[in-house]
Amino acid sequence: MEEQPGLSDQYRMSSPWPMLIAFGLAIAEVGIIWPLAPLAVGGLLLLTGSIVGIVREAGYVESPWPLLSGFALALVAIGLALFAYSGGAFAVNSVSESLRTSGSIGLRGLSIAFAGVIALVGALVGKYWTTANAGHSV
């Protein structure tokens, strides 16, 4: 269909974040339940990154980095708590047989915490080494 000057056309019509949030949530969910560390880490990064993105796009925050580091710290805290709960065990093993071993719980904790660490590094790099601080001129 063609572009048409209808009513709703006077508002922002597109945003890249919703799709990324949804996919991030799905990937993180699978990665954490089935301890597949790469999916857990990647999915959490996608999810937190896009939540921060959409919040900034909507103008609720000026700069994305403080919010991102907040999420990062929360992930680190949750992840370490889970790791501690597992008694510091850690194992990379097969999907179907090991969902409830303490090694696999430790793996889940570490992957969540690791996602938090990467997000934190991202936030610091973003804040001190890029110019993307201000909100958009829009």
Partner 1 sequence: MAIEGQIALTVLMGALLVGVAVWLTRLEDWRSYTPLAGGAGGAIGDESAHVHEEKPAGIIRWLTTVDHKDIGILYGTYALIAFVWGGLAAVLMRAELATASLSLLNNTQVYNALLTSHGITMLFLFGTPILAAFSNYFIPLLIDADDMAFPRINAIAFWLLPPGAILIWAGFFVAPFTEAMTTGAATSWTMYPPLSVEQTNPSVDLMLLGLHLTGVSATMGAINFIATIFSERGEDVGWSNLDIFSWTVLTQSGLILFAFPLLGSAIIMLLLDRNFSTVFFAAEGGGTILWQHLFWFFGHPEVYILVLPPMGIVSYVLPKFSGRKLFGFKFVVYSTLAIGVLSFGVWAHHMFTTGIDPRLRASFMAVSLAIAIPSAVKTFNWITTLWNGSLRLNTPMLFCIGFISNFIIGGVTGVFLAAIPIDLVLHDTYYVVGHFHYVVMGAIAFAGFAGIYYWYPMYTGRMYQRTLAKWHFWLSMIGTNLTFFAMIILGYAGFTRRYATYDGLTVGPVEVITAMHQAATLGAFLLLIGQIIWVWNMVSSWIDGPKVEDGDPWNLAETNMKSREWAWFERKLDTTIATDGGAEEEPLADGGEPTESDES
Residue 60 identity (one-letter amino acid) = Y
Binding of partner 1 by 78 (CB under 8 A): no
3-class SS of residue 4? coil
What is the Cα Rg of the chain in Å?
18
Binding of partner 1 by 117 (CB under 8 A): no
Q: Give dist(CA 11, CA 28) in Å, integer.
A: 32
Helix axes 37-57 and 17-33, enclosed angle (nearest 10) = 150
Binding of partner 1 by 8 (CB under 8 A): yes
Sole binder of partner 1 in the list 19, 84, 121, 125 (CB under 8 A): 19
Sole binder of partner 1 in the list 56, 87, 96, 123 (CB under 8 A): 96
Point out which residues bind partner 1 (CB under 8 A). Answer: 1-23, 25-27, 29-30, 33-34, 36-39, 41-42, 45-46, 53-54, 57-58, 92, 94-96, 99-100, 136-138
